[in-house]
Amino acid sequence: MHDDFTYDTWTMILEQAYVTLGGSEAHGIVIGLLCAGVADDDMVIAALGADENDTGLRDSLEAARRRITEGSAEVGLSFEPLLPDDERPAVQRSRALSEWCRGFVTGFYFLDRGTTPHERSEIVTEALADINDLAEASGTVGESDLSELVEYLRVAVQLIHDEVVE
**pLDDT digits 0-9 by tens, 16-25:** 888 899 999 9
As a whole number, mean pLDDT of residues 97-103 equals 94
- Tell which wins on pLDDT, 39 or 95: 95
137-141's contacts with Cβ under 8 Å and 24+ in sequence apart are 137/98, 137/101, 138/98, 139/91, 139/94, 139/95, 139/96, 139/97, 139/98, 139/99, 140/91, 140/94, 140/95, 141/90, 141/94, 141/97
Cβ-based neighbour number of residue 137 at 10 Å: 14
Segments making up each domain of the chain, as ranges = 7-164
Q: DSSP secondary-structure letter at 149? A: H
**pLDDT tops 70 at residue 150:** yes
The CATH code belonging to domain 7-164 is 1.20.120.740
